[in-house]
Amino acid sequence: MSPSIESYHRQADIGWCPGCGNFGILDALKKALVDVGLEPHQVMILSGIGQGPKLPHYLNCNALEGLHGREVAMVEAAKIAADDLVVIVHAGDGGAYGEGGNHLLHAIRRDVDLTLVVHDNKTYGLTKGQASPTTDYGLHTALQPRGLYARPLNPLSLAVSQGCTFVAQGLSARQEHLAGLIAAGIKHPGLALINALQPCVTWDKVHTYQFYEQHCYELDDAYDPEDQMAALELTMTTGDRIPLGVIHRAPGRPYDQAVLEGVDRPLRDRGVDPRAAIRLQDRFK
Ligand SMILES: Cc1ncc(C[n+]2csc(CCOP(=O)(O)OP(=O)(O)O)c2C)c(N)n1
């Protein structure tokens, strides 16, 4: 039997504001999972703390929630314990690029086989709209009433320059397009970073649905995502046009597959002998 959107449905009280971009990302994810042919038991969502990271509460599949910003770090363990699971991380721009920025750098180096969907609403949504790493310079927030005195991080050029093997950008309001990017990320062997732009209807009155509709454009076939320098130039070009699509793609070399090479079974399928741990402990007495 092929999977259905309904099989991912989970009855729950939704904590997101009406009109939140997270709804579009949730719908796009469900569509991507079905399009790739995955059943809920084959999928694990990892998330941390935040509005975006509440997503697994509203989805029927395996889920693991950890600390804010530690989502990506948990994946290495999950993939080595159960390498047959498709692992998808949902993090906010705060969690992924702020608290978790260091973990992201090293996950890019290792090219761990995961799909990282960043709910980029350019704000710390859950904690009431403080500036996040992707907030624009000068933007006024509750905590920065005179405007923010720091430039925004550019996650796309960071990822491209560090050789991330799959870098894409989507928009929560273009669900079909975003679903295609998530599906491509799931199929990619290695780290797939998908920056999902989303309006925050409560805290950000600048980056509205209308703003994104006016400024976003979809990359066409004339663009070659395999050309890393072209991707870098695209992501470094400032201006009011925002590209959507696969920005960069290169062959993946996943760390978890290399670690498990020659190992007959992943950790999950090996017997657990608590006495072995005690014997090991005793050797150091
Ligand atoms: C290490 C750590 N730092 C800060 C916090 C407090 N905190 C929890 S959620 C959050 C903001 C979340 O923002 P983001 O990750 O962008 O997700 P959003 O709510 O916008 O979806 C903060 C600052 C925390 N729980 N742990």
Q: What is the pLDDT of residues 212-234, one digit of tens each?
A: 999 999 999 999 999 999 999 99
3-state DSSP of 228-270: HHHHHHHHHCCCCCEEEEEEEECCCCCHHHHHHCCCCCCHHHC
Average pLDDT of the chain, as a whole number: 95
pLDDT at position 259 is 85
pTM above 0.75, yes or no: yes
- Across 19-23, 61-65, 80-84, least confident range: 80-84
pLDDT above 90 for 80: no
Please count the other Cβ atoms lying within 10 Å of the Cβ belonging to residue 84: 9
Task: Estimate the crossing angle of helix 175-187 against helix 21-36, to 10 degrees.
Answer: 50
Q: Catalogue all structural domains in the chain, each as residue range(s) with its CATH number.
A: 6-283 (3.40.50.970)
Kindly compute the dihedral angle of the four CA atoms of residues 81, 85, 90, 91, in this order, to the nearest 10 degrees.
Answer: 20
Cβ–Cβ under 8 Å, residues 243 and 157 = no
End-to-end alpha carbon distance in the chain: 55
pLDDT at position 273 is 87
Q: What is the pLDDT of residues 245-283, one digit of tens each?
A: 999 999 988 888 888 888 888 888 888 888 998 999 999
Give the nearest ligand 1 atom to 70 CA. 1
Give the nearest ligand 1 atom to 53 CA. 21
- 126, 200, 203, best to mutate for ligand 1 pocket (most atoms within 8 Å of CB): 126
pLDDT at position 272 is 82
pLDDT above 90 for 162: yes
pLDDT category of residue 163 using cuts at 50, 70 and 90: very high
Q: How large a percentage of the chain has pLDDT more than 90?
A: 86
pLDDT at position 253 is 86
Ligand 1 centroid, distance to 192 Cα (angstroms): 22
Give the nearest ligand 1 atom to 98 CA. 15
- 20, 68, 116, best to mutate for ligand 1 pocket (most atoms within 8 Å of CB): 68
pLDDT at position 214 is 97
Cβ-proximal residues to 191 (8 Å cutoff; 6+ apart), any chain? 107, 108, 110, 111, 112, 113, 114, 116, 164, 165, 166, 252, 254
